[in-house]
Amino acid sequence: MGSSEAVSRVLKVVPISVAVVSAAPEDVLVTFSLGSCVGVSIWDRVHRRGGLIHCMLPTAKVGHTTSGAVEVSKYVDSGVSQLLQDLYDLGSRPESLEIKVVGGASPLKNVDGLRIGDRNVAMLRKLLWKNGLLLAAERVGGTEARTMWLEIGSGRVLIRSGNHEETI
């Protein structure tokens, strides 16, 4: 890219239990320490906008209310549904969405008898299936935590785990 074409990058951190949506091509959304949590990026390749969410748990307990953005975003089922709705409200269509997931690991190896990472990924797959959506890419499982970036202008998703870095 020539210097006249260079775009200043604006890094926006997506904390745990938060979703961020952007249509600014210079925005780069990043979420850190995806161990058993999942980071889900949804990018609209037609309108060049997208969002990133960092979910902790697969679903709210029965009878637990999810009021407020943090409570909704804490859970895969309610958080990813809300992120999809936010993009649909902006005019995105399901057929133009590119969805990627990172995380769902078991960083504590055999200590995690609840298998939260596996359950988070399973809940995401179920939610997408019910909505007729597919994953474009995934890097899930294992034992290492990952960091995930979504470049809004290009839709590129970059992952770093330890000394390993890749684009999916």
pLDDT averaged over the chain?
91
Within a domain: residue 19?
yes
pLDDT at position 26, please? 97
CA 60 to chain centre: 18
What's the total number of domains in the chain? 1
Which residue segment(s) compose the domain that 35 sits in? 10-167
Q: How far apart are CA 90 and CA 87, in angstroms?
A: 5
CATH code where residue 122 lies: 3.30.1330.200
127 SS3 class: helix
Nearest one of 2, 6, 41 to 25, comparing CA atoms: 6
In the block, residue with structure tokens 């307990």:
61
For 74-88, 103-117, 139-153, which range has the lowest pLDDT when averaged over its residues?
103-117
Nearest one of 61, 58, 21 to 41, comparing CA atoms: 21
